[in-house]
Structures are given as structure tokens and as C-alpha cells.
Chain A
Amino acid sequence: MVARKTIVRYATACLLVCCFVFSGQQSFAQRDAVPTDEAIIAEGEKLFNEYQCNSCHNVVGKKVGPALAGVYDRRDLDWIYSWVKNSQAMIAAGDPQATALWNEYKPSAMTPYDLENDQILAIMAYVRNVEENPPADKNTVTGGGEEGPAGGSGVPESYLNIIVAALIVVLVLILIVLAIIIGVLKKYLQDKENISEEDKEIVNEKFSLVAFVKSPTVIGIVTFLVIALAAKNVIDGLYTIGVQQGYAPKQPIAFSHKLHAGEYEIACQYCHTGVEIGKSANIPSVNICMNCHSSIKTDSPEIQKLYAAQESGEPIEWVRIHNLPDLAYFNHSQHVKVGGVECQTCHGEIQEMEVVKQHAPLTMGWCIDCHRNTSLNTQGNGYYDRLVELHNQNSATPMNVADIGGLECAKCHY
């Protein structure tokens, strides 16, 4: 048994050496072995995202790990399979290519994945597709948002503006007409001879600005307007108490979402692990940072803070940006996993933010607006089947959150 194993091992080694030597000739044969079938590419893309390969690899260009483009030219397929499944074993076995890779990228190790050969091949098909048909626009690669955030309220603002403008025009016209009528009437009375004293007074009355300003009516109106405006401001101000929209505090570590989520396209869920399973999205613990930063930018002072935390055993105290009051219950998994809401819908263009700021007001009105206007993501979710059926019997509009009780108090307050 042992002997046989050794023979197999030697044979494999020889084969690998041959592969290495003749890699030039084999390159096209290898590339051709990667399928170009649409379905397989789609499957590969799914896997690529699901297993978050892009956390460490770009198709073109180095990241934490090497670029994936052309890997099928550089390496033997079987080598790739076993590398993906367990790279450390290969290094331990002394595989020369593996060792070379390890020396180049250590201490970052390729995470072992429990993937089938077909699946790995599919991922390569996707990589080949991206390499051979580079996307015109970067955004299309990431998949972007299938559906943007919900639209505005029922009546667009521009309509309101037009209505207001029209009203003002009408008012001005009425004023002009009135002025003309007064002028005409005055003239008529002046021309008349036998008018009473009273009427004369009116006709000859001179407009006095001082008297006008001092008149109780004007004072009354002005006072009312001032009080009303002040009250409005106070009330508006009171409404903003506790609303921290735009809040962007300085964090203990100058972490840039723009770099990680934007430039490197690391999936949000890679760090925010709770977003699909629980109430909290979770701020990543240091061990998650260390997946990459045990080897990347190790001498940056910001990264050093991670090591210091690791060393001292003291967790990092991030400043909480999104503060919901304790009386409101919000669950990330309901919105992200079930509802399919994009992170950006509530958190804004987080991939553009150097320093994270609170994008939404997080007021109840804001929650309710969205619940009123968002149609439910019910596709393929058995929970909603009967509800959709019942809804469609009575309504022509798509079922939104409010239709199934999404505005009820005890959905968020208990």
C-alpha cells in the first residue's frame, strides 16, 4: 500500500514537472479545456460571488492573492483543483509551484474550499469570460442594484411648484385688476359733483405709510406671521432632535469603505456577517480584519492598531453611527435576506465613503414611507405565495409592505 502510494506520488510529481516544462505548449490546450458555455459561466459567476473569491482575487491585477486571469494557462487543471481544495497540503507536500506561490504571498494562505471539480471549472469559465470579454463599465461587473431605491411620493415636487407659480400669477393679476378698478372708481367719483362729505373723504384720502404700518390690522398680521414662522421653526427644530442624519464621527481606526467596498469590491457580507442571519449586521471583529491584514499593509499605523488590540485583548471601540431608539426593533435579515433590499438603499453610497456617515434620517416617517411604497420581494418565497394570491384577487397594484401589515405598531415596537 505504502509502496503504491509512493509510486503514485512520484508519478504525479513527474507529471507536474512535465507540465511545468511543457507549460508553453500546453497553454492553449488548458485554456480550451475551460468551457465557454453561457450556463456554466453564469454558474461560475454565482459561485465566484457566493464564495467571495473577489475578497482576495481580482480577475485582472493583483489583490491579496494573484490575479486569476490566465491561471488556466499557467497551471494544470488538476493542480488548480487540488490547490483550491487544500493549498496548505500541497505546500507541505513540497509542490514547487505551490511553494513558490506561498513564498510570494505568505503569510496569506489560500482558504481551502469544499468545491467540486466542476464548480472550480465553472469559476474558471467565468474568469475566462471576464478576461476575454472585458466589461465596458466597471459597475456592470459588480452586478450593481437590480432595483434602485423606491421612488418618491405620489405627487412629484415639480407639479407642486407649477401649481404654486400659477397661483401666484393669478393673485398678481387679481391685484392688478383690483388696482385698476379702484383707480377707475376714484376717477369716477372725483368727476362727480354732488358727493357727500364721507365719500369725499374717501376719494381724497392720502395713503400714509406710517398710518398703514401702525394700523392694528397690519401689526396683528405681522405679529401673527412672526409667531407662526417662529413656531414652525421651533417645531421643525424639535423634530430633528435625535435625528443624526449626516452624522460622521471620527472612528478609532480610519477605516475606508471607499477603499475596501469601492475599490477592492469586497462584498459587504464578508465583514458584516450578521446581515443575512440576524438583527445586527455586526461590525467585524478583529479576527475578520486579520484574514487579510495579517499580511497586507502590516506597517500602516492604522493596521498597527489592530495588532495592538489583538495583543492587549481589548476590543476596538467603534463609534456607533446608526442609533435607533431602543423602542424600535429593526432586523437586518428581514430586509436584506428576505426583502432583498440593497445596503445602499438605507446606508447610501457606502462604497464611495471615506468616512461613513449616516445617510438616512432613520425617523419613523422615513421607515413608513418606504414600507408604503416598496413592493415586496416575494419571488420564490413560499411564505408569501398565498398572500400574493389573495392580494391579486382584490388589487391591481403590486403587493407592498403596508398591504401585509407593514405599518402596524407591533411589527417594530414591542
Chain B
Amino acid sequence: MKENQKTYWKGIEQLTNDAEFVKKNESEFPEYLPISEQGGETNNRRDFLKLMGFGVAAATLAACEAPVRKAIPYLNKPVDVDPSVPNYYASTYVNGGDAVSVVVKTREGRPIKVEGNKYSTITKGGTNAQVEASVLSLYDKERLTNPLKEGAEIDWETLDREVTAKLADIAAKGGQIRIVSNTVLSPTTKKAVAEFVAKYPTAQHVSYDPVSAYGITEGNKRSFGEAMIPSYDFSKAKTIVSVGADFLGTWISPIEFSKQYAQTRKINEHHREMSRHYQFESNLSLTGANADYRTPIKPSQVGPLVAAMYNAIAAKAGQPKVSGGSVSADHLNAAANELWANRGQSLLVCGSNDPAVQVLVNGINSMLGNYGTTINANAPVHYRQGDDMAMANLAKDLNAGRIAGLIFFNCNPLYNSAEASALAAGVAKATLTVSTSDRLDETASAVQYVAPDHHYLEQWNDAELRSGYISLTQPTISPLFKTRQAPESFLKWAGQDVEYYTYLQNNWRETYFAKQSDISNFQMFWDKALYDGVVDFGTTAKNLNYDFAAAATAATSIGQNYKSAGSGLELALYEKIGIGDGSLANNPWLQEMPDPVTKATWDNYLTISIAQANELGIEMKEGETQLVSLTVGGSTIEVPALVQPGQAEGTVGLAIGYGRTKAGRVANGVGVNAYPFITKLNGANTMDVLAGVSVAATGKPYRIAQTQTHQTYMGRENVIQESVLTEYKKDTKAGRVYPKIYKDGKYYKPSKITLWSGHEYNNHHWGMTIDMNSCTGCSACTVACQAENNIPVVGKEEVLNRREMAWIRIDRYYSAANPAGNKKELEQAAANPEVTFQPMMCQHCNNAPCETVCPVAATTHSTEGLNQMTYNRCIGTRYCANNCPYKVRRFNWFKYHDNTQFDKNSSMNNDLGKMVLNPDVTVRARGVMEKCSMCVQRIQAGKLAAKREGRRPVDGEINTACASACPSDAITFGDLNDPNSKISQLLQIEEKKEGEKVTERVVNEDRAYHVLEELNVNPNVWYMTKIRNKDKETTEA
């Protein structure tokens, strides 16, 4: 066992040990907190007495007559809806080119929570932040309630009549019609669009994606003759190399990849093997943060680096080398050697959208024999099939006046495409423009007709996520507004008066029912498909041969395009985990979700390296930074700078998805729009700007609402316990720290010196383990918790005041071996630090410090191990928060519901938004404390279900929102008293008995530890040490 000598820091200010920072951290909040927002005059004692007197009188008077409340039952109760009993429906989350099989929880016919579908062979029950948050978007007040013509409401008949007439007119004159959409995943919708095209033969369907994967489809076309994106299986990979692909966060199918990746990171004393992950990237992405070896590279090095990798592998495989590839990067040779050593069990992925680079990547994987093992080209996925070339042509044609009819089908290209400005200029030239957007967004406000589509929770549909794998969407609520499903609109305009549900069923009868032979009755087949939510027909194997001639051509192209390497500043655009491409930007849960790496909310910003910050004279403290002017290819914007450890030298990063102008109240004006910086490379959209980038300081101060430094451990050790695999192989206790308490000349285990008599848990003993080795920091748990527990959104100002309300936060620690004394050392330490994520929520201490200090016993311990928080008893002294060593208690500084000052908290401030609230959880009032309850409402419901059936609850039946959302199965919740539960087995709990009675339960898992064990608060949450697959325990900067 070796003491951990690393320096851990949460933000640059902590690393530099800034005096102001230290001072601020001694108090819970940074400065005097303005409570009285209006006026600001101080209240004196007399005012208090007056108010007090009035309050008592008013309360007494008001109480004389209790309000008459109504109980309104259904008129005709639906058979399967029972008030207060939740129903669950399998469905499919669809947003642009992304789709996830989900299960929707409804109460009294309202969807209130989205969870993953465990029957899905792709996502296996996992979700991400966007899927979890999508339910709030259903109740977005900004959604259109009616079809529109030139901004005025019209009815559907008029719209249909006019649109059909105009279409007929255009068709008669031989004018061109275009349907523009993001990737359409639904085979039935595609069929409906095809019928529309058949009716109007001049129509063409053009699809694009805000974040394009055209380079991959095109690369595969050049390599194998087939434009597709294969499916990947990270779980079979021993060596994973990613060049700029954020596959755990945003790339192609992140939930699926997180599940697979996490499988390779699960270790225990019997299985001391894990995958090794190399990451080469410019911005510190979520995936890079999880890598064992991360090398910062400039975007201009991507092409040459892949070429170098190709040559290294080709040399081993006996294939001809290609030109280019003169680049040196740390770990490049090691990565190539390991890829080769584990050929057939390795995987190289690349986030570049340059088809030439993807051709070489395919070449490398082919030479490694990864096709058939970690890559399945026979089961291509259907996400992100957009065609960048077609989109560019469309913009050209439109501006040349060659397009007469233009239908924007659930997309917003005037905001989120590379052709946004060209389309905006040309849209008026078409004689008919229609949008099916759900809101008056940037595109919909520029067209003549808006025919708003249903939200995915209101519609029938299907989605083919992977060849042969189809997921059904079923409505979980009747349409809230006068909207109509877009494919039904297409059918209507094509002259077919058919309900889309019928159309869908007919298509399924003809296409999929015929495909199978297990079920002979269509209704039964349909019912089963609906119940499961997914049908997997599998695919047939094809023979794909890599065309090595394509590699040589690609290498030449790379040689030409990546010349500027090494010279000027480069810009790497990226997607944030929460906001993504910006289509869900009006969702306050996503806006307030701290970015896993920067911990910033409510903004995008230019991520700059610390060296560059020093150059620009920017010092970042507590989110206080400067606006810088960013010039890209002649256009200049002002954007706040954020000092990002791990940012590659000579690069800056900027997130897309912000700077919305017409998304709605929540998103408008948040951040800057980075889409205009998307350029073309080899015909494909590229997020990398390789030249013409410059940054200048403006000196204007700006504050970014970061949560990272809000709670500090005052330099205590043992919070993060980690080691490397080589050490773990020798000793399963590697990285563990065992604090000892000194007493009377001897050192004791903290639990041996205690004032506490302990608790007896006869019934259940709920506990949780968090495997820091598989936690990727994706923050799905944070949003899941927010949805489940009615957690308010407080807005940017309040986050700056350190008053965010999240019950579960993901602490992100940077660490480096070298100490940071002076600026030079600091630059070194922050150049490429290691990153550790630690989800932190109420630890449900058995010796809880909060419980003993509450003067009114509002927080107490239950006989099931829970630390209970009773809002109606709390008087708001906040002693508990002061005494909590984990800083997980949250205080309601304001009334966040029904308060116009918090109108961004849209789930509590309008009748529509309130429909998302979980009726089983209290909406907390001003002045009370709250914190993680371990989803006590779910525990109670699960126990009750078991009691009604006269049995004990089955393990897994009761699960917390965070654990069930987790795509990497890092969080395990269960009953420690049940020896067969997963958690008991993970912790290897050994029951010590006296006769029949269990007197003690001992945790034998060496990796399991309590954060701040020396305090002996004895939490019910265990963390498992982080093990990195590194050779030695140092960071190579």
C-alpha cells in the first residue's frame, strides 16, 4: 500500500492556492448574500413585529374558512389508468438523428419520468442527460399550440388546402421541391416521405445533421463501397484508441458505448484486467477525462497522426505505407504497438469528419482484424446519415432561385447547419416554405407556414436504430395542443387521408410481421412489440473488403489539407454533454446541468490553455474571467474565456448549441452561436478550424457560473483514492488509505473510537456503492434526480451565489504528480492532468453529524439506514448544512415555485410545466433544507408493492433514479441486509453471527472505502477506488 502523493484540485484557483479563494472557502457562501432583492432597505425590529402581528392575524382569519377543495374523478375512467398508480410504457426518444429506447412513467395520464428500456440490446436500460430531460420539453410553454400562416394562427384544413394547392401549382410548373430534415430514423416516416415524393416527382428529401457524421459514411463508402456507420462494440476491446472521438459523451451512440466501455472497466479481485484507453484530442472531453493515457493534440495533427498510426500498423501487417504521417505525439507508438498486440480485440475510432481520415481509420481497423469483433459492419447504425454535400447544393440551388417549394421537417437549419446564413438569405426566394417545428424557432419564424409536429411523447412512430433493430414510439399522453404528426402531414399533402397510426400499423403488417414467423397473429405481434418496445430482426452478413487503393488517395488528401500544422492558433468546436447541438436548449434542466469537465452552467465559453491565459493576462477565480474577442476567418465575436487544464497548446475550444435567439425564454441569449464557424473540409462539415483563428483580450470582466469550487474539503485527503492497474494486480488494496486515530499512545481505526452506539437494522438497510472506475461523469444521474425529486432550477445568478440545488453532483478532480509552486510549474501541472469523477450525494451516515445538530429534529435516522429530511419540521437554521462534511445539503433560499423571479424554473412556474412534477415528492417551500433522500418514495412504493403481494422485495425491484439512469452501471443501490443482493455481493458483505442473530456485517471488498473515513460518520455509501490502466503512477505531462 502506497500513500497517494498526488496533488488534487478542483479548479485552477485551488491549485494556485489563491488567497481570496482560501478565504471565501472558509465560509459556506462567497460573500454577503443579498436576500432582499427588491429595494434593498434593511428591515428593522419594528417592521418585523408589524409583519409578525399581521401574519398571525392573517393566518387566523384565513383559517376561519378553509378553502373548499374539489375532488374531480374521471367521467369515464380508462380501464388501465388508476389515479395514483403509475403506468409504464415502452417508447422511443427521438431527437434529430438520435434515438434511444425508453420506458416512460406516467401518472394520471401524464408522462413524468423517462427511463431506459432494459430490453434494448443497444442501450440496455441506460440513458443520458438529454433523454432524462426530454420529458420537460414536452411541457415547454414555448411550443406552438396551433398551425400558423405568416405568424398568425390558422386551422389545419386551411393550411392543408393552401399548402396542397401551392404544391400542386409548383408541381404543374415543374418547380423543384425539397424536404429538409435531420436524419430520419423511422422507416415508416421515410415511407410516408417517399409517398409524398411519388406524388410530387420534383421533390427530393435532403437530410443533414447539426453535428455531421458524413465523413464516416463517406469514408466507408470509399473504403468498402457502402455508405454507412458500422456498429461498434467497445466491450470486446482490450485496447481502445480514440482520436478526437468523444464516444462516451456525444459521438454517434454514447449511451451504448458507455455501457460497453464500462464493462471493460469493471474489476475485482478475481478479474484484475481492464481495457486500456488512449485518447488524442484538443479539448478535454468527457472521454478524454476517462482515458488512461491522454495526449493533447491540435486539430491539424489529427490527419497526420492517423496517417502515422496507419503506417505504424501497416509496417507490422506487411501492407504498403502511405504518404504523410510525419508527426510526433506522446503515446502514439505505445498505442500503435498495443493495437497490434491486441489485434482483433482492439478498436480505433476517430471523431474527425474528414472522409480521408476515416478511410485511413478503416484501413487501420481492417489491418487489425477488428471487423467482425469490435466493429460490425453488417449491422450498421442509422444515426446521423446526413449528407453534407446535398445540403450545400440545396443552399446553392435555393439562392439561385431553383427551388420553389421548401419544407423543413423537424429541423432548424437556419440555426444549426453550416449553411445557416445561405439558407436564411435564400429562404424568401421559394414560393412555398413550410416548417414542422414544435416552436417558432430560427427557421420556423422565417417560413410562411408552420405545421407543428407532436412531441415524441405524443406520437406513434418507429425508429430503426440499427439495421434490423426497430424501436416503437407510442404516445403516453394525448396531444396537448393542436399539433399534427409531421409524416401525417406529408401523407395529407400527398393526397392520402390516413391516420398515421393506421399507416404505421399497416406498414408493420406488411414489412415486419411478414419478416418473422414466431407469432402468427398480427395483433399479438403488435402487442408484444409495443410491450417490449423493441424488435430485433438481426441482420445478414455481407462481405466487405477494404480497398487499400483508397488509403493512398486519402493519405494524399491529408497531406494537402493538414499543411498548416504547428503554426497558428486553431479552434476546435465541440458539443456539450447537456445542451448537445442546441435543439433542447430551452430545457432549463440541461442548461443548469454543470458540464462534467468545466463544471460550468448556463454558458458556453472559449476554453483556453493555462499557458495562453497567462499570455492573455487572464486569471480565473471563482468563475470570474474576461471576455475575449475571437476572430475566425474575418468574423469576430466576444466570448468569455475559461481556463481549461488539458487544453492542447495552440488550440481553443468552443461549444455549439448556444446563442439561440428564438428557442424560448430559457435559452434565448445564453452563450454565443458557434455554428457559423463550421467549415467544409473534403466536402464534409468540419468542427475544426485549422487556420485564421486569433484571440485577443478585451479586459471586460465576465462571470461564468461554475459549480466546481463551491464545496471544498479544505484540503482533506482520502476523498479520492486511486491507483494503477499494475499496483492493483499485486495488491487489491492498492491506492487505499486507512486513516488512523491517535489515542493514548496508540493508533486506532476510526470506527474503534466512537461515541456512537450504532443503529439496529432489522428490516432493510439501504446502501449504495459507486464504482469510480466505471463512472464516466456523464451526469445522466444529475438530471434523472432532478426529474424524479422535483429539484428546482435556480438560474445563473443563483448558481454564482453557490445556491444550486442539485442533490447529486459530480465532483471533478484534476490531479498531477508535480506540485504547483510557481507559474511555470502550474502550467505544467495543468497541461494535461488526470481527471477523476466522483458523484457526491447525501452519504446517509449512520453517525450523521447533521442529525445531532438539528434543534427541531427535522433530520433523523430511520430504521432502514436512511437519513431522513422532514421539510415540514425544518425551520431553516442550516446547522445541518454547516455540520455536513460532504456539503450535500441544499437550502431553499427562495420560493422557487410560482415565483416570477424564477421563471426559468419552468417545471414549477407555469401550469403546463408543473405537469412534469412527481406527485409523490413534495415541492419544497422557501426556508427549508433538502438533500438526497435515496429516492425514499421509490423505496416506500417498492416495499408496499412487495407487502401487497405478501413477499420480500426482490433485489433490483427498488432502485434509485440515479442508479437506474446510469449508463455505465457505476451506481448500485440495494439492501445490505439481503445477502443475495447485488450490493452485498459487490461489497462482499460477510455476516457475523451470534447463534441465529446477525451481529455485524463486515465489508470485505478491498476497493470499497468511505470518503473521509477518519471522521467515522460511517456512511451507507461506499466508493470503489479508481484504477487507471497505467504502467506507473505518474502523469507524463
Contacts and interface: CB of A to CB of B under 8 A. Distances in A.
Contact of B873 (A273, A286, A381, A409): A409
Nearest to B998: A390
Contacts of B943: 383
Interface residues of A, number: 58
A314 B75 contact: yes
A231 B75 CA distance: 49
Contacts of B85: 274, 277-279
A405 B864 contact: yes
A282 B73 CA distance: 7
A287 B70 contact: no
Query: Binding site of A, secondary structure by majority: helix, strand, loop or mixed?
Result: loop
Contact of A241 (B63, B73, B863, B920): B63
B952 A382 contact: yes
Contacts of A242: 63, 66
Interface stretch (A140-148, A213-221, A329-337): A329-337
Interface in B921-954: 921-923, 933, 936-937, 940, 943-944, 946-948, 950-952
B562 to A, nearest CB: 57
A323 B763 contact: no
B508 interface: no
Nearest to A390: B762
B83 interface: yes
B920 A329 contact: yes
A158 B933 CA distance: 45
Interface in B845-899: 858, 860, 862-864, 866, 868-873
A345 B207 CA distance: 65
B743 interface: no
B2 interface: no
A216 B482 CA distance: 80
Given A278-B84, A414-B933, A414-B936, A408 B74 contact: no
A175 interface: no
Nearest to B945: A333
Interface residues on B, range: 35 or more
A75 B947 CA distance: 44
A380 to B, nearest CB: 6
A53 to B, nearest CB: 22
A315 B75 CA distance: 5
Interface string A238-267: 100110100101000000000000000000
A405 B763 contact: yes
Contacts of A386: 762
A225 interface: no
A209 B860 CA distance: 58
Nearest to A247: B66
A226 interface: no
B270 interface: no
> Could you say which of A315, A317, A413 has the most chain B C-beta atoms within 10 Å of its C-beta?
A413
Given A274-B82, A280-B84, A409 B920 contact: no
Contacts of A286: 73-76
A321 to B, nearest CB: 8
B58 interface: no
Contact of A319 (B60, B68, B77, B871): B68
Nearest to B920: A329
Interface string A124-141: 000000000000000000
Interface in B115-151: none
Contact of B944 (A273, A334, A414): A334
B872 A327 contact: yes
Contact of B69 (A320, A404, A414): A320
Interface string B143-182: 0000000000000000000000000000000000000000
B714 interface: no
A230 interface: no
Contacts of B997: 393
A329 B937 CA distance: 10
Contacts of A310: 75
A278 B83 contact: yes
Interface string A366-406: 00000000000000111110110011010000000000110
A411 B866 CA distance: 11
> Could you say which of B66, B84, B860, B873 has the most chain A C-beta atoms within 10 Å of its C-beta?
B84
Interface in A291-330: 309-310, 313-320, 323, 325-327, 329
Contacts of A288: 77
A284 interface: yes
B584 to A, nearest CB: 29
B35 interface: no
Interface in A98-145: none
A285 interface: yes
A381 B950 contact: yes
B72 A410 contact: no
B944 A333 contact: yes
Contacts of A249: 68
Contacts of B922: 326-327, 413-414
B75 A277 contact: no
Interface string B32-73: 000000000000000000000000000110010010111111
Contact of A315 (B74, B82, B860, B863): B74
A244 B66 contact: yes
Nearest to B69: A320
Contacts of B866: 410
Given A409-B868, A410-B862, A318 B73 contact: yes
Contacts of B862: 405, 408-411
A320 B68 CA distance: 7
Contact of A410 (B60, B76, B936): B936
A408 B946 CA distance: 20
B75 A287 contact: yes
B951 A279 contact: no
Contacts of A238: 60
Contact of B933 (A309, A323, A410): A410
Nearest to A240: B63
Interface in B385-418: none
Contacts of A277: 82, 85, 948
Given A280-B84, A408-B860, A410-B933, A285 B70 contact: no
Given A327-B922, A381-B950, A413-B871, A316 B936 contact: no
Closest 5 CB pairs of A and B: A410-B868, A279-B84, A241-B63, A405-B863, A285-B77
Interface of A: 238, 241-242, 244, 247, 249, 273-274, 276-280, 282-288, 309-310, 313-320, 323, 325-327, 329, 331, 333-334, 337-338, 380-384, 386-387, 390-391, 393, 404-405, 408-411, 413-414
Given A278-B82, A410-B866, A414-B920, 10 more contacts: A282-B77, A288-B77, A316-B73, A319-B69, A320-B70, A391-B762, A408-B868, A410-B868, A413-B871, A414-B937
28 contacts: A242-B66, A273-B77, A274-B84, A277-B948, A282-B82, A282-B83, A284-B73, A285-B73, A310-B75, A315-B72, A320-B71, A327-B872, A329-B940, A338-B947, A383-B946, A383-B947, A383-B951, A384-B947, A387-B763, A390-B762, A405-B864, A408-B862, A409-B868, A410-B862, A410-B869, A413-B871, A414-B921, A414-B937
